Every structure is written in C-alpha cells, then in structure tokens.
C-alpha cells in the first residue's frame, strides 16, 4: 500500500523565546491537520522525534508528550530518534505502518529547541574514548572541515566553490518568508567571513535552531478524500554506514574504503520509486555546511565525484537550473532543530510540487522531488516524492 502526504505544517525555524519545543510541535501539527481537513481525533497513529525537548526549554521527556497538547485519544505514538535522520526515519516508519495495513491516517511530527553554539556531545554516548572529545573531533565543524578538505583534494575541486554553494542558499533564503536567515550574502562576503575550520567560514555553516514540522499521511488510494493536491511518497529508505566509510564521530579511517550510507540509501530509494536521479526536478540535500551539499550531490547520484564544480558554477543547482537544490535556503538559512529538519525538507518539496512556493517556485511546476538527510554516527534517510 503506497502512502500520500495530504497535510503539511511548519513552525518556522529560528529562535522563539518563551515557546517550548513541544508547543512548536503541537502548532505545526495543528497546521497540518487543518491543511488536510481532519482533526486529531481522526488520526490513527503518530510518529515523532525530538532530540532535546526535555533538556532545553522543553516539556516532557519524549516526543509523544505532545499528546497532552493535542488530545488524549489513546492513539499509538512511537518516538523516533536517529540523529539528524530522525525525521526521515519517522516517515519510513509511517510508510511501513500504512503499507502493512496497521493504519490508514497518521501524523509524522518533529520538533526541537537547541541552545546557541555548536552541538555539544559526550563521546561516551557513541562508545568513544575521552581523547576523541579532547582532540576536538566531537565538534562537528572540525570533522566536516577535515572531510571536505580531503574530498576537494581527492577530486580536484576549487575550494572557492564553497562560497558559491552558500551564496545560492542565502539567495533562496531571502525569497522564503519562513526562513530564519534572510540576508542574501554575496560570495565575497561569505569567503571573507571569519574562518572557523579551514576551508569553511562562518557563513558556510548552519546553526542549531528551534522549530517544528508535521505531516498528515494516509493511504494513497484515499488521498483525494482529503486534498486536491496530494503528494505521493514513491520511495523512502534508511541506511546506516558500512565498515570503511568515514562518517561523523569516526575514530579512524580504515585502509579499505566504503561508500557513505547516503549512496546506498539513495540507490535503494530510486529503485523503490522506479526512477533515477535524472528524473528529479527539485531536491533538498543535507547541508550542515556548504561542503556537505557539494558531497551529497554526488552521493545521491546527481553527478559524479568531481563534477560538482561545473554543475554549481553553471547554475544547475539554482532555482531556475536543471536540478534546483535547497530552494528554501536549506539548513544554512533555516538552522537545524534535529527532530524537525528532515520534515522541513519534505514540507518544502510539497510546497514546490503544489506550485505554492511564490518567489522561489521552481519553473514549470515540478512533479518529482527528492529529500536526503544525514546524521551521526553515519545514517542517511531519503525520500522520492511525486504528484
């Protein structure tokens, strides 16, 4: 049984003093319910994720604490936690629920409220020794800089293209009313910003943020009971790392190299959907920093390793290009509340496929979109969405 998205809701990402993460999740869910024309009492199941709702300005210790905001109907609400791939994993679980006949109408929601500054993680949580944190490698800015430095070197890519990637995202963010960062920085301003971890400057990184996003999903054959603009989940996959892939919080680089988990997740997702990367008209890719978007273009099959520089400089990833990427500004302009990030991606693709994106609308009203999230310690989730 296929799955359709019939309602979408977003609590804009950014900083919201005095608003808890759970409250944001509840409001995003209410918006999605209104969009689908249903009530919370109609919902048969829910999946949700929140990395830190119980630690910073949150209420409750799990994502399903949100039910006291929505109504105590007794529905099964399963909490999902899978790093930055939390939301994509929750969508996969919803797809399995509908596909197995265990529910016809459900909600997928994610929300988080992170403090300012880089994410702080205890090495012990990932079974790593204290030296790993003491060396600074738990700081993701340092790891991502090491990874993109090696990648640029191995594939002969000019580091200057990183500023081009970021500038495109800031242009898109300036066109997005719900974006947090709406100032269109130029390539020159981005390149001249303070260097955090070479070759990545301040404006090439996303920031932890606050926000929520939600979907109402149903059996595909019943989608038009709820909306005239359903978006179908043609493919959804989750994959973890293989031995030899160099991922976040890797303590060593094995002699035998293996592809990143995104490579396997993307290939399986396209196979499930029965299409290829060439059929995608608009994409959302994980861009924790500008280098991640560049690497993920190849890992998801939109080009070969080393071809990104020409693709980007030719404008192929811009809104009017061959494969527009991160049309709402991505993580650079919206920040990353971990539990909600992948659902923001899907929200944006739904808006694009519905033809409701306004100034940032991809020309020609696309019919196929794609999302990809990637998180520690090496997990990726992908979706193919279509009308």
Q: Are 58 and 348 in contact (CB under 8 A)?
A: no
Per-residue model confidence (pLDDT) at position 254: 79
CATH 3.40.47.10 matches 3-118+205-386: yes
Between helix 290-299 and helix 140-155 the angle, nearest 10°, is 50
**Which tens digits make up the pLDDT trace of 262-283?**
999 999 999 999 999 999 999 9
User: Can you tell me whether residue 3 is helix, strand or coil?
Assistant: strand
- 228 by Cβ neighbours in 10 Å (0-12 / 13-18 / 19+) ranks as exposed
C-alpha–C-alpha distance, residues 368 and 170, integer Å: 24
DSSP single-letter state for residue 84: B
End-to-end C-alpha distance for the chain, whole angstroms: 16
Per-residue model confidence (pLDDT) at position 208: 85
pLDDT(169) > 80: yes
DSSP characters for 114-157?
PPSSS----GGGGT--HHHHHTTTTSHHHHHHHHHHHHHHHHT-
**Which tens digits make up the pLDDT trace of 115-151?**
777 777 778 878 888 888 888 778 778 888 999 999 9
pLDDT(58) > 80: no
C-alpha–C-alpha distance, residues 278 and 273, integer Å: 13
Q: Which residue has the tokens 């105590």?
A: 72
DSSP single-letter state for residue 75: -
- 261 by Cβ neighbours in 10 Å (0-12 / 13-18 / 19+) ranks as buried
What's the mean pLDDT when you consider all of the chain? Answer: 92
Of 19-33, 118-132, 318-332, 333-347, the one with minimum mean pLDDT is 118-132
Question: What whole-number percentage of the chain has pLDDT above 90?
Answer: 73
Give the number of other Cβ atoms within 10 Å of residue 159's Cβ.
16
pTM here?
Answer: 0.95
**Which tens digits make up the pLDDT trace of 286-296?**
999 999 999 99
Q: Residue 56 — very low, low, confident or very high, per pLDDT cuts 50/70/90?
A: very low
Q: Residue 53 — very low, low, confident or very high, per pLDDT cuts 50/70/90?
A: low
């Amino acid at each position: 049984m296929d799955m359709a998205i019939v309602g979408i809701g977003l609590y804009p990402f950014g900083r919201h003093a005095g608003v808890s993460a759970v409250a944001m999740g509840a409001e995003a869910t209410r918006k999605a319910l209104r969009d689908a024309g249903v009530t919370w009492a109609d919902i048969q199941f829910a999946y949700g994720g929140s990395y830190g709702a119980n630690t910073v300005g949150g209420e409750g210790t799990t994502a399903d604490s949100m039910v006291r905001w929505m109504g105590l109907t007794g529905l099964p609400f399963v909490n999902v936690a899978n790093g930055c791939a939390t939301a994509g994993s929750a969508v996969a679980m919803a797809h399995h629920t509908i596909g197995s006949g265990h529910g016809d109408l459900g909600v997928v929601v994610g929300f988080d409220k992170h403090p300012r500054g880089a994410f702080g993680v205890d090495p012990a949580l990932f079974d790593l020794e204290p030296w790993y944190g003491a060396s600074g490698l738990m700081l993701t800015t340092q790891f991502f800089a090491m990874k993109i430095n090696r990648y640029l070197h191995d594939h002969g890519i000019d580091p200057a293209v990183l500023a081009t990637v970021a500038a495109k995202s800031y242009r898109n963010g300036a066109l997005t009313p719900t974006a947090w960062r709406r100032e269109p920085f130029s390539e020159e301003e981005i390149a001249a910003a303070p260097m955090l971890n070479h070759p990545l400057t301040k404006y090439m990184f996303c920031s932890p943020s606050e926000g929520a996003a939600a979907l109402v999903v149903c059996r595909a054959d019943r989608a038009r009971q709820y909306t005239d603009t359903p978006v179908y989940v043609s493919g959804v996959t989750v994959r973890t790392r293989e031995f030899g892939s160099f991922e976040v919080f890797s303590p060593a680089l094995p002699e035998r190299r293996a592809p990143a988990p995104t490579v396997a997740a993307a290939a399986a997702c396209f196979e499930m959907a029965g299409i290829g990367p060439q059929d995608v008209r608009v994409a959302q890719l994980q861009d924790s920093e500008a280098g991640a978007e560049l690497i993920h273009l190849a890992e998801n099959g939109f080009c070969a390793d080393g071809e990104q520089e020409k693709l980007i400089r030719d404008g192929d990833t811009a809104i009017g290009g061959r494969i527009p990427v991160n049309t709402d500004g991505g993580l650079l302009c919206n920040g990353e509340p971990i539990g909600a990030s992948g659902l923001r991606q899907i929200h944006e693709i739904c808006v694009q496929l519905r033809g409701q994106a306004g100034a940032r609308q991809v020309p020609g009203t696309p019919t196929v979109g794609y999302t990809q999230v990637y998180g520690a310690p090496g997990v990726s989730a992908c979706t193919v969405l279509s009308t």
